[in-house]
């Protein structure tokens, strides 16, 4: 069977597009609120959770007594506001950070954002090089808090009411022939030949059905039939459409959409939330057509969560492996993948047929480089299409995305052919 599938990379930008406060910076602000809550109940002058230590330097005996003497319980400050207040008054207060937490806070203050997984890997190779077990304990505390934070968001905010029909249309859209890499055009031609066959037995074969066939069983095929009649016939002697005729139809962009829908769809969800699940059509008889793969685990199963770093292509990773100390590999994603079968399912999917990649909200940063390299340089990958977003100043992040995508390639010529140029790309929303 000549099929083309679609893999959609779902990253944090996907959740942000739904108005969810899932940035790491949002999480850190929540963390300060959590600290503030504990300090209000603290009957000591010192409070610590192994990431931060808050010390009261003035004459008050406890944090509890001090805070209740100055706060209006009806209009409490946010955790971030409290943190800024405490940090600014070094005479009355002291805050001591673990080295890892200090890295995170400095990134938020300098850049307004932070990538905790990148900071972990950098600290592992530098400040914690002699004590990897210590950063792993601190990282576990952050992971535990992150799960609590995201679980609150999922429980309160992730419902069918946040579904964006515009996003749903893009996820289920037909393949754009101009998106396919030049070196993969022969696979596109094979796909259209298979879709244009007049053999009715072809339509009985479930594996040959497209996602559009499944979702629209009573669809109007008149455009496709007319195209086959006028542009594909006469057939070659073996009963298949002429390659040159199909190639001409592709170049003139006259292949009907009905003939260009992918056969199968996988939403490869890098988030821990279940927002992506909202976009999987409910087709019990065709579950294999619409797949959700929570590659990094789900909030329903805390043990499944993969939170760490995944860049085996980095020179420093090779050095860490040579140290023969498993503490350095404790949070390496490519090893964690072996604890479940999600990665194996992804490999089976991309091995099964040619596929195009849609990138929706994933930065394609180095923390997922090993997996992304496997996806992007696979022989079955036909194209990589980033969906960019518009920033507040009116600019977009297309170039930034492509720069990140390029770091996941070892073959730059292949990268330039497979990545869809901006002219043919779309905004994630709007």
Q: Which two tokens stand for residue 320?
A: 């860490």
- What are the tens digits of pLDDT across the range 5-31? 999 999 999 999 999 999 999 999 999
Residue 349: band (very low, low, confident or very high) from pLDDT cuts 50, 70, 90: very high
pLDDT at 220: 73
What percentage of the chain has pLDDT greater than the value 90?
76
User: What is the Rg, in whole angstroms, of the alpha carbon atoms belonging to the chain?
Assistant: 26
82-87: long-range contacts at Cβ-Cβ below 8 A with a sequence spacing of 24 or more? Answer: 82/32, 82/33, 82/36, 83/32, 83/35, 83/36, 86/54
Q: Kindly report the backbone phi and psi dihedral angles of residue 269, in degrees, each rounded to the nearest multiple of 5, phi listed first.
A: -90, 115
> Out of 100-109, 199-208, 310-319, which region has the weakest mean confidence (pLDDT)?
199-208
Report the first-to-last Cα separation within the chain, whole angstroms: 36
Residue 112: band (very low, low, confident or very high) from pLDDT cuts 50, 70, 90: confident
Q: pLDDT higher for 208 or 400?
A: 400
Element (H, E) at 84: helix 79-88
Element (H, E) at 383: strand 381-387
> Out of 212-221, 297-306, 398-407, which region has the weakest mean confidence (pLDDT)?
212-221
Tell me the C-alpha to C-alpha distance, in Å, between residue 88 and each of 66, 84, 130, 201, 397. 17, 6, 33, 75, 34
Residues 31, 333: Cα–Cα separation, whole Å: 25
Tell me the C-alpha to C-alpha distance, in Å, between residue 220 and each of 36, 194, 211, 228, 286. 61, 19, 15, 14, 21
Q: What per-residue string of b and e applies to 289-309 under the rule 16 or more CB within 10 Å gives b?
A: bbbbbbbbbbbeeeebbbbbb
Q: pLDDT higher for 348 or 225?
A: 348
What percentage of the chain has pLDDT greater than the value 70?
94
Mean pLDDT of the chain: 92
Decide if pLDDT at 263 tops 50.
yes
DSSP symbol at 405: H
Decide if pLDDT at 416 tops 80.
yes
pLDDT at 198: 47
pLDDT at 428: 97
pLDDT at 200: 46
Residues 423, 425: Cα–Cα separation, whole Å: 6
Residues 208, 205: Cα–Cα separation, whole Å: 5
DSSP symbol at 296: T
**Segments making up each domain of the chain, as ranges:** 5-21+160-171+262-424, 24-157, 177-259
Q: What is the DSSP string of 186-206?
A: HHHHHHHHHHT---THHHH-G
pLDDT at 363: 95
Decide if pLDDT at 241 tops 80.
no
Q: Is the dihedral of CA 88, 89, 90, 94 positive or negative?
A: negative
- What are the tens digits of pLDDT across the range 49-93? 999 999 998 777 899 888 888 777 667 888 899 899 999 988 889
pLDDT at 109: 87
Are 54 and 39 spatial neighbours (Cβ–Cβ below 8 Å)?
yes
pLDDT at 199: 47
Decide if pLDDT at 44 tops 90.
yes
pLDDT at 74: 67
> Out of 80-94, 266-280, 376-390, which region has the weakest mean confidence (pLDDT)?
80-94
């Amino acid at each position: 069977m000549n099929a083309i599938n679609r893999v959609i990379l779902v990253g944090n930008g996907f959740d942000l597009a739904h108005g969810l406060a899932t940035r790491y910076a949002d999480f850190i602000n929540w963390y300060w609120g959590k600290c503030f809550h504990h300090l209000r109940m603290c009957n000591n002058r010192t409070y610590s959770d192994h990431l931060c230590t808050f010390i009261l330097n003035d004459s008050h005996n406890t944090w509890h007594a001090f805070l209740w003497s100055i706060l209006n319980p009806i209009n409490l400050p946010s955790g971030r506001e409290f943190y800024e207040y405490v940090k600014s008054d070094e005479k009355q207060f002291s805050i001591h950070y673990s080295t890892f937490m200090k890295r995170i806070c400095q990134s938020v203050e300098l850049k307004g954002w932070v990538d905790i997984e990148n900071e972990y890997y950098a600290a592992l190779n530098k400040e914690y090089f002699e004590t990897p077990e210590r950063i792993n304990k601190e990282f576990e505390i952050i992971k535990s808090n992150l799960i609590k934070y995201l679980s609150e968001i999922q429980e309160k905010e992730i419902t069918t009411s946040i579904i964006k029909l515009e996003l749903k249309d893009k996820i289920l859209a037909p393949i754009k022939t101009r998106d396919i890499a030049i070196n993969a055009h022969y696979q596109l031609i094979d796909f259209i030949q298979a879709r244009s066959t007049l053999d009715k037995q072809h339509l009985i074969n479930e594996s040959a059905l497209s996602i559009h066939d499944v979702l629209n069983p009573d669809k109007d095929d008149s455009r496709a039939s007319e195209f086959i009649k006028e542009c594909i016939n006469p057939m070659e002697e073996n009963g298949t459409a002429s390659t040159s005729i199909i190639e001409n139809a592709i170049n003139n962009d006259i292949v009907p959409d009905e003939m260009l829908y992918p056969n199968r769809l996988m939403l490869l969800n890098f988030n821990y939330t279940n927002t992506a699940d909202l976009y999987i059509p409910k087709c019990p008889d065709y579950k294999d057509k619409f797949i959700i793969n929570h590659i990094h685990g789900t909030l329903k199963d805390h043990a499944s969560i993969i939170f760490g770093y995944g860049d085996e292509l980095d020179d420093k990773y090779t050095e860490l492996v040579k140290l023969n100390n498993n503490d350095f590999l404790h949070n390496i994603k490519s090893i964690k993948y072996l604890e479940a079968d999600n990665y194996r399912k992804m490999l089976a999917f991309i091995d099964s047929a040619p596929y195009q990649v849609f990138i929706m909200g994933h930065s394609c940063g180095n923390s997922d480089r090993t997996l992304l390299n496997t996806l992007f340089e696979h022989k079955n990958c036909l194209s990589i299409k980033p969906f960019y977003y518009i920033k507040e100043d009116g600019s977009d992040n297309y170039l930034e995305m492509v720069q990140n995508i390029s770091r996941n390639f070892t073959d730059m010529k292949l990268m330039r052919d497979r990545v869809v140029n901006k002219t043919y790309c779309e905004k994630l929303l709007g």
